[in-house]
Each structure stands twice: as structure tokens, then as C-alpha cells.
A and B are shown apart, each in its own frame.
Chain A
């Protein structure tokens, strides 16, 4: 393995921009790494070798001509979740419905990455249409956790988290509707951030639940996540829910945090996220993380958010309701799969047969659940009540943030579970998102940062940090300070303890 793949995005960028190493060499080192290990990890659904080398060459040529780098991440290789459209490169959302679809346009996130000179290596595996917590709902087979190939890499963005934990890419993009960036980050020992809703454009992000979906950065360090956050964030006229406000100063916050203590920072521990149902090793890691924050000078208090326990049920009404409407677009008429078009079936029959064939079980379950929750007679009891819970959760956050600057909790109640363990039990699978969902419902910013290995099984645990809407920079300040202290105490970054790959599945 080339030593280049072990470097952080910030380190790679510095070397590329100083012309110590070319962007092409860096891209090639990562492509070689993908060729060596991805048969075992299966993080990628598509590797765009030609596109990646072309983009890297363009960066090198501009630097050779004496131009300034297009961004602080110009030349750095990235893995892109397959839910964001890429002109000329397949986009499947992990679904047979979109197998072979070549989008005619770039998502705004994709465009911003290209303009920043970021080298897109390929598209990463995911639960079908981002519905799931394990990548087992991908129509193209699951991704394996680099820490233990028999275990899940989280989901829906398990391909993105695994790609950076396996050193196949320095950075990745995920999308987080109920925790799909943070929970995969937690179980793979990497950093994942869900920006404030509206902070990153949804244009070209294939919609699952439009009022919750948010793209964000996945990285191996807090600083790398911040650098990527600044590249992809910002107002976009193509997304009517995009926030027309300056991007919070996340890079400055990450740099400041890494070199400072947390004196004067008030941290609230969410009382409702602990106890029964939480793995003992996860709770011990979380308690140690809270101690670390206290040792850094933070003022730690317990905070009650009584409605957070209603977030999971509210989410599993709101998200499927929006999904049932959003996925109506897959009608077998303009793009995507079509079956049974043999002259004997009507358009409506072709539509029903195609959707039956093209969607997997979880997508069908959620479409039907959403159809039920929105139907007359049930609307008030289910969807209407869920919307009220959303208000109550937002109020809990508002009250909490009057007393503290950030809230913390474990990112997910357990470490990575075994592939297959929860596939036949939807409710057990849904519990993986218990702690991450409140921030999606309220739209505020949240991060998962590695807090060490669980004492009971030796697998990574994540610390979740939550900040008010548009205060994303607080995540980076607290996250970077914690990361620096944890790494110093542990003798290095957690992700460097990932077992060497290449063995058997």
C-alpha cells in the first residue's frame, strides 16, 4: 500500500500544491488501493478511473502553469455517494430501478466538487434510495466494514464510510436523512457531519424525504471534514429550501479547536440517550468522552429532552410519507427500468410491474407505510401527530440550547452489528438511528467523531455532537478539540488501528 493513501486530505493537498507529489500520482495510489481491496470491502458501485485521472491531470496542469489551486482541496481524491447525480457517470441509488442510468446533469454538490478541483474516484454503495442503516438494502450487495468484514459499515452511506476507513479515498460525501452520515461514521471510526438543513444544496440529490435529506462531509479527521464542508456548502438558487446566509466558519473553527481547550463551552449530556438498549461498551466510551470534554475545561451538565424518545416513531411516519410521494416519479416512462412492455399490458400495469421488480423490500415497505399514513382516516392520527412531535422536538432543542452550547450523546446505541443480523426485523434495524434522528427532524447541525473502541468487542464507537441551526462551526470547534485530546491520549488517530485488509471476507 502506498503511504499516500494514509495521509489526511489536508496533508495530501499541501503536498500536491507544493508540487512534492502530483495529483495524478495521488489519484493512481487510491485507484490501486481500490483495485487491491474493494473486492473485499465493496464500497464502490462504480469506479471512474478515466474521469479521476483526467481531473487530477487538470489540477497538475494548472499548478504547473503557476495558477493558484482552485480550492484548499484541489487534487484530493473523494468517493461520492451514488445518490448524487453525475453527468455522464452512472447513478443508481443502489436500486435496480436506476441501474444503467446516466444522468444528463451534475448535482450542485458534484459541480462544486469539480469546480474545487476535487478528484471524484467513483460512486459509493448505499441502501436503496438511502433507506436503511446497514447497506444491506443495496440491490448490488452489501458493503463490508473494514474493521470486520462480517459486520455492517452503517447505512445508508456505508460505502462512503467504508471507503475512507479502508483508505480507498481521503474524503467522501454522504447524505443524512435520519443518520446516514453519522451512524456509518460511528461504526467505522470516521468523522461524519450532517450540516444544518438547507446548508448544502439538494439539487441533484435524488430525493428520499425532502424535508430531512441533507448532504455532508465524511472524512478521517475533523479538519478534513471542515475543508470539505466549505467546498460543498452555500446558497443555491436551484434548491428552494437552500438557506441564503453565509456558510458558518467551519474550517477556522476546526483549526482553532485543535489548538485550544474548551474553557467556557457549555456541554449538555442528553439524559434520554442512555441506559437500557445501549451496549455497555458504547456507554463506557461515551462516559470517557464526556470526561475528556470536562478535562478540556468544558462545563458539562445533564439536559433533559423529553420528546427525543418520540423522534424515532415520528421519523418512521414522516420519512416514509415523503418517500411514498417522492418515489412516485419512478413510473417507467421517462427513464429507469421498464418491464412487461409487450403490448398486452397498459401503462398502469407496466408501472406496477416495473416498480414491483425494480424496488427492494425495504423501499416497498416504506412506500406502503407512507401511503397508509397519508390516507384519509389515518392522516391525523399518524402523519399529523408526527408533525406535532416534530414541533415538540424542535422546542426541546430550543430550550436545551438556552442552557448549553452543544449537546452530546452516543451516535448510535451499539457498535457495528453482523451482516444479516437485523435484515428480517425492520424495527430492530430502525433502532440504529435512535440518537441521530432528532437533528434531522429539527434541522440543526450534528457530527459524529470517533470516541475509541468499545471494551466489549473492540469495535469503533462515535460521539455525537449537536449544535443549533447555522452554528455548524461549534461542532468543529468542540469536535477538533476532543479529537486532538483523544488522539494524544490514545497515541494516534483511531482509524489507523483498522486491521490491514486483503484477507478473506
Chain B
């Protein structure tokens, strides 16, 4: 009994910003279904009264002094940019055709 359909995988890929191919969708749908089938086992023991753990070391609100520290120069920050222009990151247009 499949948990996840090919269409659902296509939707996930869209949410995750992955332009997957049709061939990949076929492979991933089968594999994700098999993996989800195995991991669903967690619900067997996850009773109502068990609190969740998000982190091995329970820490909240870790503060440090708000002091000025050296940081990257503009040149360093832009050195690995795929595209830069006039000392800034150059990005593709942010609105699609439909907007």
C-alpha cells in the first residue's frame, strides 16, 4: 500500500526547489515510498505521554555580550558570489512571468 504518490513527490520537489526530471520522479517515488514504509515504525512506540526531544543538550536562550567583532569585508563576502555587480550580489529577476 503506497504512502506517497508520484504526484505528491512532484509537489514535494517543487516545495523543496528541486527541478527534478520525470525519470527521477519515477525512481524517487518508489524509493521514498519504501523508506516511509520503514520509518513509519516510529509511531508504534510514540505514545501520548512521551515528551518529544528536539536536542540532546537542553539549552535555551544562550546569550553572549553584544560586542563589535571583526567581520568579512565587502570584497570577501562577494569573492565567492556566482555574480556580483557594483559591490553587490547580482540576482536574477525575482518576479516570474505570471506576476
Contact = CB atoms under 8 A, between A and B. Distances in A.
Given A316-B35, A346-B92, A240 B62 contact: yes
Contacts of B47: 388
B71 to A, nearest CB: 10
A101 interface: yes
A368 B3 CA distance: 14
Contacts of A229: none
Nearest to A330: B17
A368 B16 contact: yes
A426 interface: yes
Interface in A377-429: 381-382, 384-392, 394, 426-427
Contacts of A240: 59, 62
Nearest to B57: A198
Interface stretch (A18-26, A166-174, A183-191, A337-345): A337-345
Nearest to A210: B55
Interface in A347-385: 347-353, 355-356, 359, 361, 364-365, 367-369, 371-372, 375, 381-382, 384-385
A104 B42 contact: no
A296 interface: no
Interface residues of B, number: 58
Contacts, number: 186
A338 B52 contact: no
Contact of A316 (B27, B39, B80): B39
A387 B45 CA distance: 11
Interface residues of A, number: 71
Given A310-B45, A356-B18, A346 B93 contact: yes
A352 B28 contact: no
Interface string B50-87: 11111111010010100000001000110111110000
Interface in B1-44: 4, 8-9, 12-21, 24, 27-28, 31-32, 34-36, 38-44
9 tightest Cβ-Cβ pairs between the two chains A and B: A443-B56, A387-B52, A338-B82, A385-B46, A335-B80, A313-B39, A388-B46, A390-B53, A356-B19
8 contacts: A243-B57, A346-B97, A353-B19, A371-B12, A372-B4, A394-B53, A442-B56, A443-B55
Given A347-B92, A349-B96, A394-B56, 20 more contacts: A102-B80, A104-B72, A104-B80, A198-B57, A313-B39, A314-B42, A338-B82, A341-B83, A346-B97, A347-B93, A352-B18, A361-B27, A365-B32, A368-B28, A382-B39, A385-B42, A388-B45, A391-B53, A426-B35, A469-B57
